Chain A
Amino acid sequence: MNILIVEDEALLALELESELEAAGHTVVGQAMSSMQAKALADSEPMDFAFVDIQLLDGPSGIEVGYHLREKGVPYVFVTGNLKRIPPDFAGALGAIEKPYTMNGLENALAFIERFVGGERRDSVPPSLVLAPWLEATL
């Protein structure tokens, strides 16, 4: 998959990129602010995105999320504060709560790969908090 990473902590973004590439994906861009994220979402073709909520310009990840939803790009939030996520999850599939573990991330990624590939009867790993709207359809 072509993946966008929206994360203001450079080391976390770098490590996530390594993890995704090790799993065979391509990271098409890293954004640290909502502006960068939206610009990348408009210019790069992408299949998926990981979106932190707290960015350089504040808790603007939610806004990025709505933008991605409009573009039809599936994504998950990656955040330390699940309570910040609005009830509709801004269209996100779910959220990976920080600090995630390596195993947790791998399992969440495996689920996402299968989900984007069309699989709907998969069990959800504990590291991925599913959006209520999605939970209702599974």
Chain B
Amino acid sequence: MIITDPRQPDNPIIFSNSAFSDLTGYSQEELIGRNCRLLQGAATDMTVVQDIREAVRSELSIAVDILNYRKDGTSFWNALFISPVRDQAGEVIYFFASQLDFTHVMDRQSELAAARSAAEKEVVRRTKDLRDALEAKTLLVHEVDHRVKNNLLTIASILKLQARLTSDETVRRTLRSVLDRVEALSTVQRKLFTTADVERFDVADFARDLATDVVGALKRDDIELSFTVSPVLVPAIKASPLALILNELVGDAVRRGLRDGGGKLHLCVERLNGHFHIEVRDTMQQQDVSREDQEFSRMILATCARQVSATITRTQNGCETVVDVELPVDSIEEDWKS
């Protein structure tokens, strides 16, 4: 603390204690007779100095934070409190000033501010990195998707072109048989990327489109098609085997129906008691289609069923063939709608 005398010219220090000397580096001898402005320095805020002058002139108390300088030129943050001391007549005879060095608090604050600003910059940088990476990934996915689609269609085109060109009926049938399966996979690729959710595949939607397209292209009104379907979403990884299973079942029914007077084809895709249930029910005449074709189709069916842990049962009631496919639903698939 110090005491100044406002009645002397330039309001000099008339008393200082040892704590003040410890804080500022000036000895008591050096301080007495001097104005407090000796503590000001290059970075001292002059508006604060002006506030102090104003308070002193108006004989009021004031508490301010001010950057002061020691004798050795180092700075410190001073929580300064100045108060006038009056005599019995109310005349101001002294000013009393106490100082508190709070430099460490200011350091801490500027450290925190610096750390915050550094962290903010880092967040901005990483956000940009992430955004760039996401953009690159999206671009890559679209590019790959575009190529896969084009390649699948090119493969199909090659098969169709040769099937059209050949005069050998067996070759033509074989190419058509390959084409049929390639197209089932093409349709999976197409449907996977049209929906908002690229990780889910709607088996019901696929089944409906497949059967509608197959039967529609036959241009025969003696094959009657009906559906009982509700959305059944499965993970994308199961899309291809399930699409091939449906393709074989619908294809088998349609191939049999092609021979004679057609019949009814009913397709059911639903969730049932914790299972996915696919049922293909038809009244096509039982025919001996090509043994080889049939065996090949059964092999694809059995293999794909094994891949997705599905069980397939085929029952024959007179002229009606019913094929049931049951798939267990695991917990991930269970909560698709929630």
Contacts and interface: CB of A to CB of B under 8 A. Distances in A.
Contacts of B160: 15, 18-19, 102
A18 B194 contact: no
A97 B298 CA distance: 30
Interface residues of B, number: 29
A110 B213 CA distance: 12
Nearest to A109: B217
B154 A103 contact: no
A100 interface: yes
B217 to A, nearest CB: 4
A22 B164 CA distance: 10
Given A98-B149, A101-B186, A125 B157 contact: no
Interface string B168-184: 00000000000100010
A102 B184 CA distance: 11
A15 B152 CA distance: 13
Nearest to B183: A101
A99 interface: yes
B161 A103 contact: no
A19 B160 CA distance: 9
Interface in A70-107: 80-82, 97-104, 106-107
Given A11-B161, A97-B194, A54 B146 contact: yes
A98 B191 CA distance: 10
B216 interface: yes
Contacts of B186: 99-101
B220 interface: no
B16 interface: no
Nearest to B216: A107
A44 interface: no
A35 interface: no
Contact of B213 (A18, A82, A99, A103): A103
A12 interface: yes
Contacts of A22: 164
Interface in B145-161: 145-146, 149-150, 152-154, 156-158, 160-161
B149 A102 contact: no
B190 A99 contact: yes
> What DSSP secondary structure best describes chain B's contact surface?
helix
A contact residues, range: 20 to 34
A25 B216 CA distance: 20
Interface string B13-40: 0000000000000000000000000000
Given A11-B161, A18-B161, A80 B217 contact: no
Nearest to B186: A99
A103 B150 contact: no
A32 to B, nearest CB: 14
Given A12-B153, A14-B157, A54-B146, A102 B190 contact: no
A14 B149 CA distance: 17
Interface string B208-249: 110011101101000000000000000000000000000000
B161 A126 contact: no
Contact of B149 (A15, A80, A101): A80
Contacts of B212: 107, 125-126
A50 B194 CA distance: 21
B208 A102 contact: no
Contacts of A103: 183, 213-214, 216-217
A26 interface: no
Given A15-B157, A98-B149, A101-B156, 4 more contacts: A12-B157, A99-B149, A107-B216, A126-B212
18 contacts: A22-B164, A54-B146, A80-B149, A80-B150, A80-B190, A81-B142, A99-B183, A101-B156, A101-B213, A102-B179, A103-B217, A107-B212, A107-B217, A110-B219, A125-B216, A126-B208, A126-B212, A126-B213
